[in-house]
Amino acid sequence: MRTVELLLDEAADLAVREAWRRLADAGLPSQARHRSPTNSPHLTLAACGELTAPIRWELAEVAAALPLSVRFTGLVRFERPTSVLAWALDLDDALADMHRRVWEAVASDSAPGSLNPFHEPGHWSPHVTLGRTRRAGAFAGRRVPELLPAPPPSVRLTALRSYDTQTGTLELLQPRH
């Protein structure tokens, strides 16, 4: 599986890492506990089986549109198969358009039904994960907002990358020149 992700500017990256640290210090699930060198704050746009040449071609055009400024809107919790705590991002027109372009790129050369429906436009909730666990309700009833710094009001999404879940490698997706 290959993800398509956006990276945050340095200030936002540091703020997310501070939130990770505070959650871990409080004994709560935190992305800080993932010691992989590939673990960094990011916004996942989509995931597909492989990045074929047609998909890469389209993603290079998306990468050329960066950087993109967006806003954090606050803390959110998701109870899906996992319990997730995250900072949500405002799905403004520019971010919605970028997401739609990525979705169309991966969908154009992927097997029908193979894409995660949570990433589909209209169902996607842009967020940067702070903590996740398989324990349902892990963040419910906790005073989590008091533990965390406020998210930065604005964020610049600076680069497009892909993570290969099979090999554990990252690839920066560059714009065409």
| C-alpha–C-alpha distance, residues 164 and 128, integer Å | 19
Is the residue at 80 inside a domain? yes
Is pTM beyond 0.75 here?
Answer: yes
Q: Whole-number mean pLDDT of the chain? A: 93
Q: What's the confidence (pLDDT) of residue 142? A: 65
CATH of the domain at 94: 3.90.1140.10
- Tally the domains of the chain: 1
Residue 171 forms part of a structural domain: no
Q: Considering the domain boundaries, does residue 175 fall inside one?
A: no
At 15-40, the pLDDT tens digits run 999 999 999 999 999 999 987 878 99
With H, G, I as helix, E, B as strand and everything else as coil, classify residue 34. coil
Tens of pLDDT, residue by residue over 101-131, are 999 999 999 888 899 999 999 999 999 999 9
Q: What pLDDT, on the 0 to 100 scale, is given for residue 167?
A: 93
Amino acid at 164: D
Q: What is the pLDDT of residues 71-86, one digit of tens each?
A: 999 999 988 778 999 9
- Domain enclosing residue 76, as ranges: 2-165
Q: Does 172 map to a domain? A: no
Instruction: Give residue 42's identity as a one-letter amino acid code.
Output: H
C-alpha span between 136 and 142 (Å, rounded): 13
Domain membership of residue 111 (yes or no) is yes
H helix or E strand, kind and range, residue 22: helix 10-25
Residue 92 covered by a domain: yes
Question: Is residue 177 assigned to a domain?
Answer: no
Cβ neighbours around 172 below 10 Å, total: 10
What secondary structure does DSSP assign to 43-74, as a single string?
EEEEEES---HHHHHHHHHHHHT--EEEEEEE
Q: Is 173 contained in some domain?
A: no
